[in-house]
A and B are shown apart, each in its own frame.
Chain A
Amino acid sequence: SVDPMTYEAQFFGFTPQTCMLRIYIAFQDYLFEVMQAVEQVILKKLDGIPGCEISPVQIRKCTEKFLCFMKGRFDNLFGKMEELFLQLILRIPPHILLPEDKCQESHPCSEEEIQLLQQEIEQLQEKYKTELRTREALLAELEEQKIVQAKLRQTLTLFDELENVGRDRGTNDFREGLVFLVQNSRKLQNIRDNVERESK
């Protein structure tokens, strides 16, 4: 079973196996290229030797023999290197969490919990709106109260002014004012009676 190493791919942006394949193919190409170059050089040298009995086919056979051996060792060694690469270099240890996934452990949250959270948020939003509407209503009543209180104070002021009128006349309230009036009118009556008697 292939381990897709998806967590590593999430970190590196490529799968480690692909990376190794890329390295393997590149190394293998170099091995073939260098072998080809060796063969070319040998053939060229042989061309320069007069009466040489070694044919290109023979040289090719030598090359294939050496390359076959080298390729075997190459694959074996590369297999070991790949194993180490995938274990020690291109691997995210199982106990390691990538930075972008930190909150998976700092705030582990199931789908149910997130739904509850969203419900709570909606309820809070409703509650907040209710509180705002309450605030509007309360402010409206406060305004109303101010007007009513102003009117009531106005009425009280009216009564005060009435009393003040009385006070201006030397009495400190309306009742006394009235009594004062009555006394005055009696005095006037007495004066009038006196005047009438005198005149008879």
Chain B
Amino acid sequence: TISRVKLLDTMVDTFLQKLVAAGSYKRFSDCYKRFYQLQPDMTQRIYDKFITQLQASIREEICEIKEEGNLEAVLNSLDKIVEEGRDRKEPAWRPSGIPEKDLCSIMAPYFLQQRDTLRHHVQKQEAKNRQLADAILAGRKQVEELQLQIQARQQAFQALHREQRELLAVLRE
């Protein structure tokens, strides 16, 4: 594939060639017939100068336009974009004309990323909370056990205390 810049230069050259071919010296001398008959050499020189000047001006204009819009770089980057997409056949997406609609797909990746991040945070926190909940259940169990232990010790102690009182009563007798 020919680069767009080269294609542009070729087209302008072809345009100039054809324009020059159309404005041939014969045509030129026919139009300025009487001057040509009076001064044939001069006519040839003026014609040559005309053609050279026209071509130079047009080429200079093209160079200016290329520089003005940085056209070469832009066209080369377009070549690259087209090259990258060369395998595709079906028509590509084009703006729908409804900004809100077109914006959705542009924002989608970021919303998807936000959703995934939030999901991850929620899952992580849920896991942590499950661990905490397990720890709390274990802790509650432990508190229960401690309470049972204390209850047992307390009852034993009270039983002892009762026996003590009975014994002392006996002793006192």
Q: Which residues of A contact B (CB under 8 A)?
A: 6-7, 10-14, 19, 22-23, 26-27, 30-31, 33-35, 37-38, 41-42, 45-46, 49, 52, 54, 58-59, 62-63, 65-66, 69-70, 73-74, 77-78, 81, 84-85, 88-89, 92-99, 101, 103-111, 113-114, 117-118, 120-121, 124-125, 127-128, 131-132, 134-135, 138-139, 141-142, 145-146, 148-149, 152-153, 155-156, 159, 162, 174-175, 178, 182, 185
Tell me the minimal C-beta distance from B103 to chain A in angstroms: 8
Contact B150 A155 (CB under 8 A): yes
* Contact with A70, one of B19, B78, B106, B125 (Cβ below 8 angstroms): B19
* Contact with B46, one of A31, A41, A69, A84 (Cβ below 8 angstroms): A41
Given contacts A7-B94, A84-B11, A96-B92, contact A33 B143 (CB under 8 A): no
Known: A104-B93, A139-B132, A152-B147. 13 other contacts (CB 8 A): A13-B69, A31-B54, A45-B39, A54-B35, A66-B28, A85-B11, A89-B7, A114-B111, A121-B118, A135-B132, A138-B132, A138-B133, A149-B142
Contact A149 B153 (CB under 8 A): no
Contact A128 B118 (CB under 8 A): yes
Q: Give residues of chain B (33-62) contacting chain A, Cβ–Cβ below 8 Å.
A: 33-35, 38-39, 42, 46, 49-50, 53-54, 57-58, 61-62
Nearest 9 A-B pairs (CB), nearest first? A73-B22, A109-B108, A66-B31, A152-B146, A30-B57, A124-B118, A138-B132, A145-B139, A131-B125
Given contacts A77-B19, A142-B136, A152-B143, contact A30 B54 (CB under 8 A): yes
Tell me the minimal C-beta distance from B116 to chain A in angstroms: 10
Contact B23 A73 (CB under 8 A): yes
Task: Map CB proximity to A onto B96-134 as digits: 1 under 8 Å, 0 otherwise.
Answer: 000011101111110110110011011001101100110
Q: Which residues of B contact A (CB under 8 A)?
A: 4, 7-8, 11-12, 14-15, 18-19, 22-23, 27-28, 31-35, 38-39, 42, 46, 49-50, 53-54, 57-58, 61-62, 65, 69, 74-75, 78, 81-82, 85, 88-95, 100-102, 104-109, 111-112, 114-115, 118-119, 121-122, 125-126, 128-129, 132-133, 135-136, 139-140, 142-143, 146-147, 149-150, 153-154, 157, 160, 163-164, 167, 171
Q: Which residues of B contact A107 (CB under 8 A)?
A: 105, 108-109, 112
* Contact with A34, one of B39, B54, B111 (Cβ below 8 angstroms): B54
In the bound assembly, the distance between CA atoms of A69 and B153 in angstroms comes to 124
Q: Chain A interface secondary structure, helix, strand, loop or mixed? A: helix
Contact B35 A153 (CB under 8 A): no
Contact B88 A95 (CB under 8 A): yes
Contact B119 A124 (CB under 8 A): yes
Q: Which residues of B contact A37 (CB under 8 A)?
A: 50, 53
Q: Which residues of B contact A97 (CB under 8 A)?
A: 85, 92-93
Q: Which residues of A contact B14 (CB under 8 A)?
A: 81
* Contact with A58, one of B34, B65, B114 (Cβ below 8 angstroms): B34
Tell me the minimal C-beta distance from B53 to chain A in angstroms: 5
Tell me the minimal C-beta distance from B152 to chain A in angstroms: 10
